[in-house]
């Protein structure tokens, strides 16, 4: 049965990837001409080399993925609404932190410690807000609310969406890294959706992968970066994809991994770990320019 349904699942995946990629590129082109808020300087930042870069890649991912989720054929209404909630919640709160956030507190521990002292940081607003929108997306995508098992599943799915949104942002520290991590994390989910022969999870997984891959050249070329807006939205959509693709054991395993990596980030530097591992370093540097090389012109 799954084998006969494979073509439908593949068609769903191709539609999701294509619509995500086209919409993200169109949004990026539009936003570089006219930013969604303020002007180009509003979104200008300095990257890890001390060179100028724009954060407009993030809003482009959010707008592109959102537009694709709204029009992709074949999605049940509850899944479509959940995707829009996830991308809007992660992207909107991430953009708030990009534009108005302070860097005095960092990480879960830093923001929650500040909150305990009565200081409401932009990061705390984002953490709590993404938690709420992640849970809302999980409730929206659920097809059952009957009994404690269904309630448990909603909590797990909400944790997946919110936790993945935060985790993706922790990797957005070097060109292309967050997108590469997103594509690597999405690949087994896409394979699972295709093997199930279900076009819905296949499309939900492929959509953010297509949008992210379309923006990867800008990221690797160090002309733009996802920022909190794009990275949070990418992670949230992948978390939603995991919630609609995997069974309970798989979702619990993914959630455990997300929690473990998030906790580890409070103590260790992912950048140092990646630099110290030859294989991870090779993947991390793939497509990136050497340190001494000048950026590629637009």
Interval 163-179: pLDDT, tens:
999 999 999 999 999 99
Residue showing tokens 């012109």: 297
Euclidean distance between CA atoms 34 and 199, whole angstroms:
35
- pLDDT at position 109 is 60
Domain residue ranges in the chain = 2-285
Distances (CA, A) of 199 to 36, 148, 203, 234: 33, 29, 6, 20
Longest dimension (CA), the chain: 59
Dihedral angle, C-alpha 209, 212, 217, 221, nearest 10 °: -130
295 pLDDT band, cuts 50/70/90, is low
Estimate the crossing angle of helix 177-196 against helix 227-245, to 10 degrees.
20
- Residue 103 predicted with pLDDT over 70: no
33-70 burial string, b = 16+ CB within 10 Å, else e? Answer: eebbeeeeeebeeebeeeeebbbbbbbbbbbbbbbbbe
Interval 38-95: pLDDT, tens:
899 999 998 878 889 999 999 999 999 999 999 999 999 999 999 999 999 999 999 9
- pLDDT at position 1 is 45
Q: Where are the beta strands (DSSP E) in the chain?
A: 44-46, 52-54
Kind of pairing between the strands at 52-54 and 44-46: antiparallel
Interval 255-272: pLDDT, tens:
999 999 999 998 999 999
- pLDDT at position 42 is 92
Phi, psi of 27, deg, nearest 5: -65, -40
- Global pTM reads 0.91
Contact 39, 230 (CB under 8 A): no
Interval 180-222: pLDDT, tens:
999 999 999 999 999 988 999 999 999 999 999 999 999 999 9
């Amino acid at each position: 049965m799954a084998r006969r349904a494979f073509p439908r699942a593949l068609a769903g995946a191709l539609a999701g990837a294509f619509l995500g990629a086209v919409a993200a590129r169109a949004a990026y082109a539009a936003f570089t001409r006219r930013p969604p808020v303020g002007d180009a300087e509003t979104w200008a930042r300095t990257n890890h080399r001390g060179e100028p870069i724009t954060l407009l890649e993030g809003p482009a991912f959010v707008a592109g993925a959102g537009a694709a989720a709204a029009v992709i054929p074949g999605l049940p209404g509850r899944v479509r609404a959940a995707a829009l909630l996830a991308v809007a919640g992660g992207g909107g709160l991430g953009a708030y932190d990009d534009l108005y956030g302070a860097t005095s507190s960092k990480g879960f521990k830093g923001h929650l410690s500040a909150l305990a002292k009565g200081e409401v940081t932009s990061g705390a607003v984002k953490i709590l807000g993404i938690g709420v929108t992640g849970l809302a997306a999980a409730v929206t995508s659920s097809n059952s609310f009957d009994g404690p098992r269904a309630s448990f599943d909603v909590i797990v799915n909400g944790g997946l969406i919110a936790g993945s949104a935060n985790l993706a942002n922790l990797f957005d520290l070097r060109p292309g890294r967050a997108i590469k991590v997103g594509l690597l994390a999405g690949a087994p989910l896409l394979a699972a959706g295709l093997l199930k022969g279900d076009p819905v999870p296949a499309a939900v997984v492929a959509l953010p992968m297509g949008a992210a891959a379309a923006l990867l050249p800008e990221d690797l070329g160090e002309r733009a970066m996802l920022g909190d807006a794009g990275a949070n939205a990418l992670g949230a959509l992948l978390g939603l994809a995991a919630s609609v693709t995997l069974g309970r054991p798989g979702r619990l395993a993914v959630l455990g991994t997300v929690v473990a990596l998030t906790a580890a980030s409070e103590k260790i530097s992912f950048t140092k770990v990646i630099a110290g591992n030859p294989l991870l370093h090779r993947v991390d540097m793939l497509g990136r320019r050497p340190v001494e090389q000048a950026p590629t012109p637009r």
